[in-house]
Amino acid sequence: MKNILSIFKRELRGYFATPVAYVFIVIFLFLTGIFTFYIGGFFERGQADLEPFFRFHPWLYLFLIPAISMRLWSEERKSGTIELLMTLPVTLGEAVLGKFLAAWCFTAIALALTFPMWITVNYLGNPDNTVILFGYLGSLLMAGGFLAIGSCISALTKNQVIAFVISVVICFLIILSGYSIVLDFFRAWAPQAVVDAISSFSFLTHFDSIKKGVIDARDVLYFGTLIAFWLYANTLVIDMKKAG
Amino acid sequence: MSYAIEVQNLSKSFGSLHAVRDISFNVARGDVLGFLGPNGAGKSTAMKMITGFLEPTAGRVRVCGHDLHEEPVQLKSRIGYLPEGAPAYGEMTPVSFLEFIGEIRGLRGRHLQDRIGEVVRSIHLEAVLEQRIETLSKGYKRRVGLAQAILHDPEVLIMDEPTDGLDPNQKHEVRTLIREMASTKAIVISTHILEEVDSVCTRAIIIAGGRLLFEGTPGELEARSRLHNAVTLSVNRDSFAAQRELSALGNVDSVDIRTDSSGNTRLTVVPAAGTNIINEVTDFVRTRGWTATEVRVESGRLDEVFRTITTQQASGGART
Ligand SMILES: Nc1ncnc2c1ncn2[C@@H]1O[C@H](COP(=O)(O)OP(=O)(O)OP(=O)(O)O)[C@@H](O)[C@H]1O
Ligand SMILES: [Mg+2]
């Protein structure tokens, strides 16, 4: 436990010791603003909620989260520090978890910095703040899912560009599997159970229900399982690489 | 008492490349073992396996009684390791880096700060403590790596080329440091500097092509030299005449002539294997009435032994 904390602290400090953190946060805030106000039609809708804000999170994360996660293990491998880390008395699980939690905490900080959005909507109208809170929670869970995938992929290669591209593709497929175009394609020939299974893999399906303010144990469980699965795969990948 | 490091039949292949083949050795506390071998011999690979970074293809490793497979975390906690190239987190400063390593190594609070202080002093890191590691010179990076390895005062110290990139003063200091620590620890270092073997190691092994080709003390290594017990002298006689006369002595294998950069010519009388000829040579010089301005007995040339041992074997990892 204390090892996870030590690794977590080191990692998180690492983000802020380089321009990565600031560039990421500025771009994240800038893009959420654009999406919410211009594309999402925040004002035109005339409703006091953050739906247009959250609606684009999956698409923002699709590119921004792999940019965070690509360095998680690739960089350690490239710079050789992985040899240092893996010969310290820590277990693989502790290392994977410590690094993942730091990245997650970092995205939570970026997400928290969108609070002016929340203030604006409260100033303009009378929104249901529970729904907004759930929206944030759902968004954070989804970010965790993207991060776990990206972390696992970055353990596969010392090349950050490759890690980025593969992560984006995988996340893209997982998002897509909730879209009606894709589902219609399957609906044409596959049994309903298969279609449901495919749609239940999508971030969108689960994120949508959470951001509507309905917190269902199944949605939380979905993200929890997804994160656990990819982090476990992450440890397997690193262990496999040990064999050379 | 059992050995601090026990390595049995250790092997590692990368696909068809056998980087390490069936190596066994033990290291006791108080020993400094020197790993020698040409580039690509498998030194670093062997170290990576002992420290638990790479999975051996075959063989057993035990450190302080902990088996690599059964208790990897305990094994790692007993070792201080300087990996090849001294990797460190570039965006950190040496002091925060050492704090991180110390925390993971179980050092806390005052004790951690005291240890960092001691190590920083003994490795002379004071001047760069607050500078990002990525901006440090190569030698300072190496020193940060050394500091990290000895921070928790480990029972076993494994260092891959610890003096590579250090200036002559630092090399000297690091060797002194290693000798000081040697009495209580089991230490393994790899090096390409053969004098280092003489000055710090109590034992040496030579690896080439992944195979262990020699194991013994530095003295035994020198004894394998053609020049072991050779007599070098300079005399006030024509070198070629002297060479001819000395060659005729019993037990003399050959006589080499060397002229150094300042024009002094020396003769090196090489004995037949396993013999000692200092008395014969000095008697001869005296009876012939020569004046010798210098006479010394060679202990053996390590570079020559190294070359002989490692070139019998094709260097680099051998493929099947
Ligand atoms: N991850 C790897 N994949 C494939 N081959 C490897 C890997 N690591 C090492 N090798 C090969 O194993 C052999 C031994 O390498 P190693 O780094 O152990 O040599 P070394 O004795 O440390 O050499 P040097 O003196 O140059 O440091 C080399 O032929 C090297 O190319
Ligand atoms: Mg090496």
Give the model confidence (pLDDT) of B40-87 as tens digits: 999 999 999 999 999 999 999 999 999 999 999 999 999 999 999 999
CB-CB contact of A39 with A120 (8 Å): no
What's the complex ipTM? 0.87
Torsion B53-B57-B61-B66 (CA) sign: positive
Cα gap A206→B85, rounded to integer Å:
47
Cα gap A149→A196, rounded to integer Å:
22
User: CB neighbours of A116 closer than 8 A, spacing ≥ 6?
Assistant: none
pLDDT tens digit sequence for A12-56 = 999 998 888 899 999 999 988 888 877 767 667 667 677 778 888
Instruction: Report the gap between the CA of A26 and the closest CA in chain B (Å).
Output: 21
CB-CB contact of A7 with A94 (8 Å): yes
Predicted local confidence at residue B316, as pLDDT? 47
Please report where in the chains the tokens 């201080």 appear, as a residue.
B80
Instruction: Report the gap between the CA of A86 and the closest CA in chain B (Å).
Output: 6
Q: Is residue B101 less than 8 Å (CB to CB) from chain A?
A: yes
Judge whether residue B320 has pLDDT over 50: no
Predicted local confidence at residue A150, as pLDDT? 95
CB-CB contact of B20 with B46 (8 Å): yes
Q: Of all protein residues, whose CA lies closest to atom 19 belonging to ligand 1? A: B40
pLDDT tens digit sequence for A67-77 = 999 999 999 99
pLDDT tens digit sequence for B148-184 = 999 999 999 999 999 998 999 989 999 999 999 999 9
Q: Of all protein residues, whose CA lies closest to atom 31 belonging to ligand 1? A: B40
pLDDT tens digit sequence for B3-28 = 999 999 999 999 899 999 999 999 99
CA B97 to chain centre: 27
pLDDT tens digit sequence for B127-153 = 999 999 999 999 999 999 999 999 999
With an 8 Å Cβ cutoff, are A84 and B148 in contact?
yes
Residue B14's closest chain A neighbor by CA?
A244
B76 token code pair: 């790692």
Which is the closest atom of ligand 1 to the Cα of B46? Answer: 18
User: CB neighbours of B174 closer than 8 A, spacing ≥ 6?
Assistant: B123, B146, B162, B163, B166
Helix-helix angle B168-182:B138-150, to 10 degrees: 10
Which pLDDT band holds residue B256 (cuts at 50, 70, 90)? confident
Higher pLDDT, B216 or B251: B216
CB-CB contact of A150 with A165 (8 Å): no
**Strands B231-235 and B265-271, how do they pair?**
antiparallel
Nearest bound ligand to CA B319? Answer: 1
Provide mean pLDDT across the span B233-245: 84
* All structural domains of chain B: 5-223 (3.40.50.300), 231-298 (3.30.70.100)
Instruction: Report the gap between the CA of A121 and the closest CA in chain B (Å).
Output: 39
With an 8 Å Cβ cutoff, are A87 and B83 in contact?
yes
Radius of gyration of chain A (CA): 19
Q: Name the residue ranges covered by the structural domains of chain A.
A: 2-241
CB-CB contact of A7 with B103 (8 Å): no
A74 token code pair: 């690739």
Please report where in the chains the tokens 């301005």 appear, as a residue.
B293
CB-CB contact of B251 with B275 (8 Å): yes
Q: What percent of chain B has pLDDT over 70?
A: 97
Q: Is residue B90 less than 8 Å (CB to CB) from chain A?
A: yes
Provide mean pLDDT across the span A150-154: 95
Which pLDDT band holds residue B317 (cuts at 50, 70, 90)? very low
With an 8 Å Cβ cutoff, are B88 and A81 in contact?
yes
With an 8 Å Cβ cutoff, are B104 and A6 in contact?
yes
Q: Of all protein residues, whose CA lies closest to atom 26 belonging to ligand 1? A: B39
